[in-house]
Amino acid sequence: MTPPSAADPGPPSAVPGPSVPQQSEPAPGGRQDRAVADGLRSLAHPVRVRLLGLLRRHGPATATGLARDTGLTSGATSYHLRRLAAAGLVEEADDRGNARERWWRSTHRATHLHDARPAGHEPGAAPARLRAMAAAHAVRVQQTVGELEALPAEWRQVVDLGDVPLLLTPEEAGRLRAELWDLVGRFRRDVPALRAAAPAGAARVTVMAHVLPDPDPDPGYAPDPGYAPDPAAGT
C-alpha cells in the first residue's frame, strides 16, 4: 500500500472503495460521506480529480484561488468546476459567495467506485475515470519522491512504496480491498473539523491502495518449480 484521493495529487479523495455498497456516514451540513460515482464522466479528467481533491482537503475555495494552487487560469478552473457541479460533486457555497466571485465546495467527503463497469453508466466512463486517478496518483508519488531529501528524517523513514503479488479469487481480492480501507478508516482523517484536536507533530499523510488484477498472469515461459521468491520482495 503506497502513499484516496485523490484527486489533488494530495489526498485520495476519490478512490476505488469496497465492492459491497456501504452505509454512508453523514457529513457536515447533511451531506453524505461517500458519493457513489454517478458522475464518472466528469472525473475522467485529471484536472477535475485534482480540483475535487483540493476542495475536500482544504474546504471551500474560489476558481481564482484554485487557479493559483493548480497553475491554471481562473477561466479553466471555472469551466471544470461547472462540470463537477453538473455531476453533483461540487456546489456553490452560498454562505461565502458575493456578487463578484463564487465559492465552491465538495458535496461529499469521498467518492467510492463500487464497480468498474456499473450498470446504467456510460460505456468507458469508469475506465476513463480510473485512468485520470492513476495519473493523479503517479504525480503525487513523484512529488513525494522528488521532495524526499527535504523531509525530516522521521518522515523519510515512514515513506513506503511496495507491491506484493498474491494469488487470490475475486472474492478474496474484494475482501482484501474492504479490509484495507477498514484499516485506513481507523485513523484520523485530514478534515478541517478534526485538525484542531490532532496531536502535536501530526501532518498530512496520503495513503493510496491499489488492488490490481494482473491482465496477463501467464509469464510466457515455464517458471522454475524450485524458485521460491522472497514474499516481501514485491516486484
Q: What is the pLDDT of residues 111-146, one digit of tens each?
A: 665 554 444 455 566 677 788 778 878 888 888 899
Of 31-45, 59-73, 148-162, the poorest mean pLDDT is in 31-45
Tell me if 146 is assigned to some domain.
Answer: yes
Tell me if 195 is assigned to some domain.
Answer: no
Q: pLDDT: is 82 or 2 the higher one?
A: 82
**Residue 160 in this model has a pLDDT that exceeds 50:** yes
Pseudo-torsion of CA 161, 18, 182, 55, nearest 10°?
70
Tell me if 156 is assigned to some domain.
Answer: yes
CA atoms of 133 and 130, how far apart (whole Å): 5
Cell of 91: 456546489
Q: What is the mean pLDDT of the chain?
A: 75
pLDDT at 154: 94
* Range of the structural domain that residue 27 is part of: 14-188
Banded pLDDT at 219 (limits 50, 70, 90): low
Classify burial at 42, counting beta carbons within 10 Å of its beta carbon; exposed 0-12, middle 13-18, buried 19 or more: buried
Tell me if 78 is assigned to some domain.
Answer: yes
Tell me if 154 is assigned to some domain.
Answer: yes
> CA angle, corner 184, sides to 150 and 45, nearest 5?
70
pLDDT at 17: 36
CA atoms of 86 and 54, how far apart (whole Å): 18
Tell me if 201 is assigned to some domain.
Answer: no
The CATH number given to whatever domain includes residue 65 is 1.10.10.10
Q: What is the mean pLDDT of residues 206-233?
A: 72
Tell me if 231 is assigned to some domain.
Answer: no
Q: What percent of the chain has pLDDT over 70?
A: 66
pLDDT digits (tens, 9 = 90+) for 9-35: 333 333 333 332 232 233 444 444 444
Q: What is the mean pLDDT of residues 72-77?
A: 94
Total number of domains constituting the chain: 1
Tell me if 92 is assigned to some domain.
Answer: yes
